[in-house]
Amino acid sequence: MVESDLLNKNLLSDSRQGNKAQIVPVQTKTLQHLPKRPAVDLAFHNLTYRVKEGNRSNAKTILKGVSGRLRSGELTAIMGPSGAGKSTLLNILSGYKATNIEGSVTMNGHERNISAF
């Protein structure tokens, strides 16, 4: 077995007895207790989100032309600097924000039904 494989199966801890490292077995956590759910793939195309700026008639664009795909079983990172719109994108995809949005969001290839969330 490779050393990295051992680290994945065991946790190194300081025994505090002469500062010798001790290998302690760790049980792998599984999600077997959760009910099976059908796979969900989300895709979004050309999302644009605007908000009004105070009393003014002009709007501020928060997201502009954002497209992407989130596939079931894959880990996807959404990265960017503060204020880039990461949380806004997730709020749109989850249905928390539903107004002032242009573009499309599909779930498993079909137009997303926001009332199903």
Sorted by where each begins, the domain ranges of the chain are 42-110
pLDDT, tens digit, 9 for 90 and up, residues 84-104: 999 999 999 999 998 899 999
Going by C-alpha positions, the residue among 83, 116, 89 that lies closest to residue 101 is 89
pTM beyond 0.85:
no
Confidence at residue 86, expressed as pLDDT on a 0 to 100 scale: 94
Confidence of residue 22 (pLDDT cuts 50, 70, 90): low
CB 66 within 8 A of CB 78: no
